[in-house]
Amino acid sequence: MAKFMVNGELVESSQEEIRLIRFLRENLRLTSVKEGCGEGACGTCMVLVDGKAVCACIPKLAKLNGKQIITVEGLSQREKDVFAFCFAASGAVQCGFCIPGMVISAKALLDNNPAPSREDIKKAIRRNICRCTGYKKIEDAILMTAEFMREDKPIPKMDFQGRMGENFFRVDAVEKTLGSGLYTDDFEVEGMVYAKALRSKYPRARILAIDSSEAYKHPGCLRIITADDVPGNIKIGHLIADWDALIAVGGITRYLGDAVALAVTNKKEELDEVLALIKVDYEELPALTSPKQALAENAPLIHEKGNLLSLQTIKRGDADRAIANSKHIVTKHYSLPFTEHAFMEPECAVAVPDGNDGLILYTGGQSIYDEQREICSLLNIPPEKLRVKGMLVGGGFGGKEDMSVQHHAALAAWLVKNPVKVLFSRQESLLIHPKRHAMEIDFTTACDENGIITAIKAEILSDTGAYASLGGPVLQRACTHAGGPYNYQNIDVVGKAVYTNNPPAGAFRGFGVPQSTFAMEGNLNLLAEMVGITPWEIRFRNAVRPGQVLPNGQIADESTALEECLLAVKDAFEGAQYAGIASGFKNSGLGVGVPDIGRCILSVEKGKIHIRSSAACIGQGMLTVLIQMACETLHIPPDFFVAETPDTSRTPNSGTTTASRQTLFSGEALVVAARKLKKDLENYASLDEGLAKLEGREYYGEYKPVTDPMGSDKPFPVSHVAYGYAVQVVELDELGKLKKVTAAYDLGAVVNPKAAEGQIEGGVVMGLGYGLTEDFPLEDCYPKVRYGKLGLFRAAETPEIETIIVTRKGCIETAHGAKGVGELSTIPTAPAIQGAYYKLDGIFRQKLPMENTYYRK
């Protein structure tokens, strides 16, 4: 019997062999202790054991006899109040999944060192990964906490107006800091059972037979589900339904993550035992490991329609002629790897039967309506029978756009008529969800004697892995943005996205643009050298200005502030010995003629205004954005608003959280609804009277801009409703160690400066990883990686980041002028690092992550 104290209470357990994290979460329901990796590599499970910060996913209960364990729930009320306030005030909370672990590491530090330096803090949180924030604001929060505790400062009462530009506290900061907010795995339902899929043994193999008879003899086995049990369409997929929910007998698997059978058991720990008893006969087939192999003549077809998922061409002007007539020409090949989102919260879904013939799905995905549509098709039920509710999402970055666990939870719950949870282990998460596309790019760029770009020509070969996911649009964005944010008119880009037997690739912050930007910006540095001007100067001479035309034909609108961004970083670039610079731009919204609608309902209920939007918050602070836009439109303080979480029974379809679109699209839909409410409120003498009289009214807002399709024959097509622009300077020391990043951003009007900075800092650090350390190695389609080996940046490695927000105000009317920043922040980082290393050692690196650097020998 293990006996120890948890948060001041004596607890006992006979389950001496279970890990501490399981006991704390499942037996004591202490939800602040999060399981991010289960292998001691991420710090989300941090607790204090006899005053030391320890990962609760490692020790077994037998080792804890007589110990004192403290979780965030066990902090004093004063500590809770201070941590919650300081983390909210510093803008340190985004998805929040890492935050309770950070709080524990901070407490361990502050108990011994009440006046830590920033370096002390970096050291104290060295075992805690945060994938969202870039650490700076977390360090700020801990410094502030230390000051409050040391000086016994009272918690100030904040009086927010919630207007645009105010550092209004995130609405979910407190619950995320203290661990009381519910992510899907924190959600428990009476009588819940568990499901897990048996994955294919080979990347490509024919399933000859599945025998579940031994599995059914296991006492915990409730049901083995195979493809034959699926009542509806077995194919899922947001845009192209090509992904088998389960591979049928006779079918051929397409990657190692393919599900062959689904086990449902009474207890979580029985899942692996039951799965091991399912016998599958395979005929192993040779796998296609690369797009080149997949495009070869006589290559086997991964999908019936062929191995080419998407072919994109962009041709304007006459690139061949312009290149032939140009003074300087650079042609290079670039290789970009698969990379992993590594969001901190592994995927989880809970499906619960609702009445006799319905289901409620609790999900941590990026779009409740896509999930509803696809699961209804899988189960062959109408949408009224499936209510989808969004829980807190512990990071997504595009990796939670596709379904991974949701359809299996729903299918199992539908068949066994019981609440079912499906939770991925970190290793399942790494294997199954789509990655950032690996791309091979041949890129030619030409300019005249003054460094004015004349043309580009590019061929992009993209490995989209086993399933379409978002591979088509990702390739489109790689192509549409290949030319960079510059003013020239000859462009010839051909892109191919090709199926292979690798894990699927899909949406990932930047959506194809980081890859082609790396090639474009690299070539630009070489051209500058040939012309005899600096990398800054060549960008300044070519930067697109308002009224000028981007290479895709779109006229840059009045808000375009790339020139101002370049001017803002000029001193940082020119004052540094070893610095690189890169520009980037990113669309807001799907664009290119694809229907794209933001929707929002405001309803007056019991004296409050409910904001109802299905826009998923994956860490960016969507509910806070919507409240600030509502305050700005209605001139009403934030206390009057209730921002609801996504729920298909309450919130209208605002589309997926993708393409940096929600701030602009759902924001403008809210503004439209708010203007209608404002008009009605003007009929009353006071706000209280107005809200009382308007009780029960609903105001609907929609934003539905029109864009032109790819290949439009208009002279100046509108590909996207808005673009944000950015320039980054990366400075190295003489050893090649990162010294500072200076990042200037044109993101339109700023909703919340701290939140915008947090997005930028987090995006920059993700970009540092992309450039220097992150990889997702595959050997013959088998991933060879664990979470701790992904190469994610930690606080101690993260350099100073200076963020400069540059805005040409009043130029865009929609969404109070906000353009969004979610993806833009990551795009210029890797090429800026490449330029800095080129300056340092003269080696022109064409492959990511870069080799022979301080970070990777």
Site for ligand FES in 142-171 (CB under 6 A): none
* Min dist. Cβ of residue 791 to ligand FES (A): 16
Work out whether strand 722-732 and strand 578-588 pair parallel, antiparallel, or are unpaired. antiparallel
Contact status: 108 vs ligand FES (CB under 6 A) = no
* Min dist. Cβ of residue 385 to ligand FES (A): 34
SS3 content of the chain, % helix, strand, coil (to 5): 30, 25, 45
Beta carbons of 536 and 563 less than 8 angstroms apart? no
* Min dist. Cβ of residue 613 to ligand FES (A): 21
Q: Which is nearer to ligand FES, 43 or 451 (CB)?
A: 43
Q: Which is nearer to ligand FES, 54 or 361 (CB)?
A: 54
Binding mask 358-397 for ligand FES (x = CB under 6 A): -------------------------------------x--
Beta carbons of 398 and 658 less than 8 angstroms apart? yes
Beta carbons of 410 and 359 less than 8 angstroms apart? yes
* Min dist. Cβ of residue 246 to ligand FES (A): 29
In what helix (H) or strand (E) does residue 99 lie, and over which residues does it extend?
helix 99-112
Q: Which is nearer to ligand FES, 375 or 768 (CB)?
A: 768
* Min dist. Cβ of residue 259 to ligand FES (A): 24
Q: Is the dihedral of CA 493, 498, 502, 508 positive or negative?
A: positive
Among 4, 87, 97, 414, binds ligand FES (CB under 6 A): 97
Residue 59, preceding peptide bond in cis (omega within 30° of 0): no
Work out whether strand 193-199 and strand 68-70 pair parallel, antiparallel, or are unpaired. unpaired
Beta carbons of 499 and 309 less than 8 angstroms apart? yes
Size of site (CB under 6 A) for ligand FES = 26
What's the rounded Cα separation, in Å, for the pair 493 and 314?
5
Q: Which is nearer to ligand FES, 593 or 788 (CB)?
A: 788
* Min dist. Cβ of residue 510 to ligand FES (A): 18
Among 32, 43, 47, 478, binds ligand FES (CB under 6 A): 43
Among 59, 74, 91, 96, binds ligand FES (CB under 6 A): 96
* Min dist. Cβ of residue 822 to ligand FES (A): 13
Contact status: 35 vs ligand FES (CB under 6 A) = yes
Among 2, 22, 25, 38, binds ligand FES (CB under 6 A): 38
CA 266 to chain centre: 33
- Residue the block writes with tokens 């865009």: 812
In what helix (H) or strand (E) does residue 465 lie, and over which residues does it extend?
strand 453-465
φ/ψ of 339, rounded to 5, equals: -135, 160
Binding mask 317-346 for ligand FES (x = CB under 6 A): ---------------------------x--
Q: Which is nearer to ligand FES, 257 or 619 (CB)?
A: 619
Contact status: 569 vs ligand FES (CB under 6 A) = no
Q: Which is nearer to ligand FES, 342 or 634 (CB)?
A: 342
Among 13, 27, 40, 593, binds ligand FES (CB under 6 A): 40
* Min dist. Cβ of residue 753 to ligand FES (A): 18
What's the rounded Cα separation, in Å, for the pair 425 and 430?
9
Contact status: 95 vs ligand FES (CB under 6 A) = yes
Q: Which is nearer to ligand FES, 25 or 661 (CB)?
A: 25
Least Cα distance to 212 among 195, 225, 230, 231 occurs for 225
Distance set, CA 104 to CA 231, 610, 648 (Å) = 47, 35, 36
Binding window for ligand FES (CB under 6 A); candidates: 125-133, 465-473, 729-737, 771-779: 125-133
Site for ligand FES in 402-441 (CB under 6 A): none
Written as one string, the DSSP assignment of 513-561 is HHHHHHHHHHHHHHHHHHHT--HHHHHHHHB--TTSB-TTSPBP-TT--
φ/ψ of 367, rounded to 5, equals: -160, 105
Binding mask 597-626 for ligand FES (x = CB under 6 A): ----------------------x-------
Among 31, 32, 90, 94, binds ligand FES (CB under 6 A): 94
Q: Which two tokens stand for residue 209?
A: 């037979």
140 contacts: CB under 8 Å, gap ≥ 6: 90, 91, 92
Q: Which is nearer to ligand FES, 22 or 435 (CB)?
A: 22
Among 72, 89, 98, 631, binds ligand FES (CB under 6 A): 98
* Min dist. Cβ of residue 93 to ligand FES (A): 6
Least Cα distance to 544 among 562, 558, 565, 524 occurs for 562
* Min dist. Cβ of residue 51 to ligand FES (A): 19
Least Cα distance to 31 among 165, 180, 229 occurs for 180
* Min dist. Cβ of residue 108 to ligand FES (A): 15
Binding window for ligand FES (CB under 6 A); candidates: 1-9, 90-98, 301-309, 622-630: 90-98
Contact status: 59 vs ligand FES (CB under 6 A) = no
What's the rounded Cα separation, in Å, for the pair 655 and 662?
8
**How many CB atoms are closer than 10 A to CB 581?**
32
* Min dist. Cβ of residue 771 to ligand FES (A): 20
CA 315 to chain centre: 31
What's the rounded Cα separation, in Å, for the pair 826 and 48?
35
Q: Which is nearer to ligand FES, 163 or 268 (CB)?
A: 268
Among 37, 531, 743, 795, binds ligand FES (CB under 6 A): 37
Q: Which three-class secondary structure state does DSSP give residue 738? A: strand
Binding mask 220-259 for ligand FES (x = CB under 6 A): ----------------------------------------
- Please provide the size of the chain in residues: 857
What's the rounded Cα separation, in Å, for the pair 563 and 560?
8
* Min dist. Cβ of residue 135 to ligand FES (A): 9
Among 2, 6, 30, 42, binds ligand FES (CB under 6 A): 42
Helix ranges (DSSP H) in 380-425: 406-416
φ/ψ of 68, rounded to 5, equals: -110, 120
Q: Which is nearer to ligand FES, 99 or 458 (CB)?
A: 99
Burial group, residue 592, by CB count within 10 angstroms (0-12, 13-18, 19+) = buried
Binding window for ligand FES (CB under 6 A); candidates: 88-96, 309-317, 449-457, 811-819: 88-96
φ/ψ of 436, rounded to 5, equals: -70, 140
Work out whether strand 420-423 and strand 438-447 pair parallel, antiparallel, or are unpaired. unpaired
Q: Which two tokens stand for residue 677?
A: 């409410």
* Min dist. Cβ of residue 98 to ligand FES (A): 3
* Min dist. Cβ of residue 41 to ligand FES (A): 5
Q: Which two tokens stand for residue 352?
A: 């619960």
Least Cα distance to 47 among 22, 15, 14, 27 occurs for 22
Among 31, 44, 542, 552, binds ligand FES (CB under 6 A): 44
Contact status: 41 vs ligand FES (CB under 6 A) = yes
Among 55, 274, 413, 562, binds ligand FES (CB under 6 A): 55
Q: Which three-class secondary structure state does DSSP give residue 245? A: coil
Contact status: 759 vs ligand FES (CB under 6 A) = no
What's the rounded Cα separation, in Å, for the pair 300 and 314?
29
Q: Which is nearer to ligand FES, 132 or 144 (CB)?
A: 132
Contact status: 131 vs ligand FES (CB under 6 A) = yes
φ/ψ of 444, rounded to 5, equals: -115, 130
Contact status: 580 vs ligand FES (CB under 6 A) = no
For ligand FES, the binding residues (CB under 6 A) are 35-38, 40-45, 55, 57, 93-99, 130-133, 344, 395, 619
